[in-house]
Structure 1
């Protein structure tokens, strides 16, 4: 199982109550399931609207269960941003 960091931005950070936390997961789906378990409530709703970067690469429309996480990697949780 890979270990790394999940970083929360803007509304996701507010809902999680932390800027970042560690992950121990093989896929993005597993990491996000663990986040939902640790932070039930508002963060679960915010995550439905978020986009994700894994080690700087956009996940886009790929299934989260297909996105492999690397040892020492970083997942960025990006809610929709207003403005330009």
Structure 2
């Protein structure tokens, strides 16, 4: 099991109620399940978000297949509006 921190941006930060928090999870899918448990608004935002793992985009890879390493930073990036 990896430990690291998840960092929230914009609407994800507002929904989570914190800018970042520590986690323990094996995959990105497991992390998403853990952080959205009992947080309906965050779950709604996360479903539409993209993710960076140590600065690298996850893209379309299935979250259950994206393994996390110790000390990793996962960033949750909701869709941004504007020009």
Same-fold status (TM-score > 0.5): yes
Structure 2 length-normalised TM: 0.95
SS at structure 1 position matched to 2:7: strand
Alpha-carbon offset, residue 44 of structure 1? 0.8
Q: Which residue of 2 aligns with 1:6?
A: 6
> Unaligned stretches of 5+ in structure 1?
none
- Aligned position for 1:33: 33
Number of equivalent positions: 83
- Map 1:11-26 → 2, pairs under 5 A: 11-26=11-26
Give RMSD over aligned pairs.
0.9
Structure 2: give runs of 5+ residues left out of the alignment.
Answer: none
- After TM superposition, the score normalised by the length of structure 1 is 0.94
